Amino acid sequence: MKDFRELETEIKKASDKFTNIESINEFRIKFLGKKGIISLEMKELASLSGDERKQHAEKLNKIKDTVLEIIASKTEELNSEELEKKLNSETLDITLSTSKSYGTIHPISQVIEEVITIFGDLDFFVAEGPEVETDYNNFTALNTSEHHPARQMHDTFYVETETDGMPNVLRTHTSPVQIRSMLKQKPPIRLIAPGKTFRCDNDQTHSPMFHQVEGLVIDQESNMSHLKGCLEIFLKTFFETDKLNMRFRPSHFPFTEPSAEVDIGYTKKGNQLIIGEGEDWLEILGCGMVHPNVLENVNINSNEYQGYAFGMGIERLAMLKYGISDLRTFFDSDLRWNKHYGFSPLNIPSIIGDLS
């Protein structure tokens, strides 16, 4: 009986000499081609009989499997060698780069959005009013009569149009939005009104245009303690701090009674302002209980309804939170400043994500 040992040795020998895909091909033809050694042997099986045929067939099939296996594994080996070689010649200098830039959101927009986010979470809607206002809405309806000394502190800009015989003004605060909103809507009211305001004053610490946010709550029960609670939660959330020293002290605004100014504690570490802690006080906002005269001016019964209002400077909030030292730089349009202090457009203030 043929033991095919010679054939196996020959296969072994031939399989050691592969250098490329062609030599594998030759190898395949030599053994498995139509006239290949194994194919010829297979043909010869027909002439055998019985057990011998069975045994030869078994053996030959095994050898054929081995040859196929060799072809597969050697092909794989050569392919990956070739790929390796190709990859080695394909390197790029990864230290080179191109750039993709986004634009920036102005710090004033960022802070306004932060403020809206915090108060929105407390169910304050965003109200608006025009920047040119009537004298009545800006002053008189807010319990500031024509000759009230508080008017002189406002350095009002006047324009040439008039309403009811009085020249219109560029609003000196966002408070007239209170009047517009209360005339439109009955209590309960919870609103904030961010926006531009104007005063005829221009120096190191004053800009003729600046931004404020107004807050107003009118219902049957809101009182000074709610005002305190409201501002505490706002300031803590805004300055992203759990510690916050807050001081209320009496002040005067014609449209609130009692009126208060609010200071927050701070310390200075080097050039850094740390908000919340410390013995020094920074004035941050004005507030108070809405004056009954203001409610009566908008036809709300001041015996039934009461509430509070507050107003603060957006630039001041931005300066304290983001360490911007000069008020006037906000409107200077120095692109170096905008690119440095601006925010990513993908940064949308959130209560569940990041505020800033």
Partner 1 sequence: MRFSYSWLTEHLKTNAHFEEIEKKLTSIGLEVEDIQDTGKAYQDFIVGQVLEEKKHPNADKLKLCKVDIGKEKVDVVCGAPNVEKGMKVVYAPVGSTIPVNQMKIKAVKIRGVESYGMMCSEYELGISNEHDGIIRLEEKETIGRSFSEIYGLNDIVIEIGITPNRQDCLGVKGIARDLASAGMGELLERKISREKGSFKSPIKIEIQDNKICSAFAGRYFRNVKNTESPEWLKNKLKSIGLRPISALVDITNFVMYDENRPLHVYDADKIDGKIIVRSANDGESFLALDEKDYHLKNGMCVIADEKKVLGLGGIMGGESTGCSTETKNVLLESALFDEINTAKTGRNLSILSDARFRFERGIDPNSTLKGIDLATQLILEICGGECSEVELAGNIKENKNEVSTSSSYISRRLGFEVSDKELISILSSLGIETSQTGDVIKCLIPSWRQDIHGEADISEEVIRIKGYENIPTSNIRLKSKINKNILNYAQKKLMKARHFIASIEYDELVTFSFTDSKNCEVFGDINKLKIVNPISEDLDILRPNLLPNLLQAIKKNKNRNFDSFSIFEIGSQYRSTSPEDQLNVACGIKSGIKTEKSWKNIQTEFDIYDVKQDLTSLIDYLMPGNKKISVSNDCPSWYHPGRSGSIKINNSLIAGYFGELHPRVASQFKIKNKINIFELYLDELPNTEKKNTNKPVLNLSDFQIVTRDFAFVIDKKVKSEEIVTSAFKVDKELIRNVEIFDLFEDDSLGKDKKSIAIKVTLQSNEKTLAENDISEISSKIIESVEKSTSGTVRS
Residues 106-125 that bind partner 1 (CB under 8 A): 106, 108-109, 113, 116, 120, 122-125
Which residue from 190, 177, 194 is spatially nearest to 142, judged by alpha carbons?
A: 177
Instruction: Print the binding letters for residues 122-141 with partner 1: x by CB under 8 A, - otherwise.
Output: xxxxx-x-xxxxx-------
Q: What is the per-residue burial (b if ≥16 Cβ within 10 Å, else e) of 160-182?
A: eeeeeeeebbbbbbbbbbbbbbb
Q: Residue 45 CB, nearest distance to partner 1 (Å)?
A: 49
- Tell me: cis bond preceding 254? Omega within 30 of 0 counts: no
Determine the residue type at 157. Answer: F
User: Cα 268 to chain center, whole Å?
Assistant: 29
Q: What angle do CA 205, 263, 340 make, to 5 degrees?
A: 50
Q: According to CB under 8 A, which one of 47, 89, 98, 272 is a site residue for partner 1? A: 98
Distance CA 264, CA 266 (A): 7
Residues 152-191 that bind partner 1 (CB under 8 A): 152-153, 157-161, 163, 167-168, 170, 188, 190
Q: Residue 275 CB, nearest distance to partner 1 (Å)?
A: 19
Distance CA 101, CA 228 (A): 43
Are the C-beta atoms of residues 283 and 263 closer than 8 Å to each other?
yes
Residue 331 interacting with partner 1 (CB under 8 A) = yes
Give the interface size with partner 1 as a residue count (CB under 8 A).
90
Q: According to CB under 8 A, which one of 1, 346, 352, 353 is a site residue for partner 1? A: 346
Are the C-beta atoms of residues 104 and 344 closer than 8 Å to each other?
yes
Determine the residue type at 161. Answer: T
Q: Residue 2 CB, nearest distance to partner 1 (Å)?
A: 57
Q: According to CB under 8 A, which one of 29, 68, 83, 335 is a site residue for partner 1? A: 335
Q: Residue 39 CB, nearest distance to partner 1 (Å)?
A: 43
Cβ distance to partner 1 smaller for residue 19 or 152: 152
Instruction: Print the binding letters for residues 207-246 with partner 1: x by CB under 8 A, - otherwise.
Output: -xx-------x---xxxxxx-xxx-xx-------------
CA distances 183 to 75, 87, 129, 170, 187, Å, are 86, 75, 12, 20, 10
Residue 91 interacting with partner 1 (CB under 8 A) = no
Residues 28-87 that bind partner 1 (CB under 8 A): none
Of 10-18, 37-45, 76-84, 341-349, the segment contacting partner 1 by CB under 8 A is 341-349
Residue 333 interacting with partner 1 (CB under 8 A) = yes
Are the C-beta atoms of residues 160 and 187 closer than 8 Å to each other?
no
Q: Residue 86 CB, nearest distance to partner 1 (Å)?
A: 24
